[in-house]
A and B are shown apart, each in its own frame.
Chain A
Amino acid sequence: MSPAVVVGFILILLGLYSIATTRNLVRVLIALELVTVGAFAALAPLALVNPSLFFYGVLILVMISVSEASILAALIFRTYALTKSTDVSTVTGGREP
Chain B
Amino acid sequence: MIDVLLLLAALFFGLLTVYSRDNVYSAVSLASVAGAVGAYYAYLTQFAAAFLIFVIYIGAVMLLVIITAAMYGGVQRWGGRYFLVTTLVFLAAAVLGVLLWGVPPAKPTPVQLGDLLPAVMLLIGVAAVSLVVGIEVARRV
8 more A-B contacts (CB under 8 A) besides A37-B33, A49-B110, A58-B52?
Answer: A2-B111, A19-B137, A26-B68, A30-B26, A34-B17, A47-B46, A73-B64, A88-B141
Contact B14 A62 (CB under 8 A): no
Q: Which of B40, B68, B108, B130 has the most CB of A within 10 A?
A: B68
- A residues with a Cβ closer than 8 A to B are 1-5, 7, 9-20, 23-31, 33-34, 37-38, 40-42, 44-49, 51, 54-55, 58-59, 62, 65-66, 69-70, 73, 76, 80, 86, 88-89, 91, 95
The binding surface of chain A is classed by DSSP as helix
Contact B23 A40 (CB under 8 A): no
Q: How far is the CB of A33 from chain B (nearest CB, A)?
A: 6
Contact A55 B46 (CB under 8 A): yes
Decide yes or no whether B99 CB sits under 8 A from chain A: no
> A14 and B44 in contact (CB under 8 A), knowing A55-B49, A65-B61, A69-B64?
no
Contact A41 B7 (CB under 8 A): yes
Chain B residues touching A, range: 35 or more
Contact A27 B136 (CB under 8 A): no
Contact A62 B52 (CB under 8 A): yes
Q: Which of B40-92 contact A (CB under 8 A)?
A: 40-41, 44, 46, 48-49, 52-53, 56-57, 60-62, 64-65, 68-69, 72-73
Q: How far is the CB of A41 from chain B (nearest CB, A)?
A: 5
- B residues with a Cβ closer than 8 A to A are 3-4, 7-8, 10-11, 14-15, 17-18, 23, 26-27, 30, 33-34, 37, 40-41, 44, 46, 48-49, 52-53, 56-57, 60-62, 64-65, 68-69, 72-73, 108, 110-111, 113, 115, 118-119, 122, 126, 129-130, 133, 136-137, 140-141
Q: Which of B8, B53, B115, B133 has the most CB of A within 10 A?
A: B133
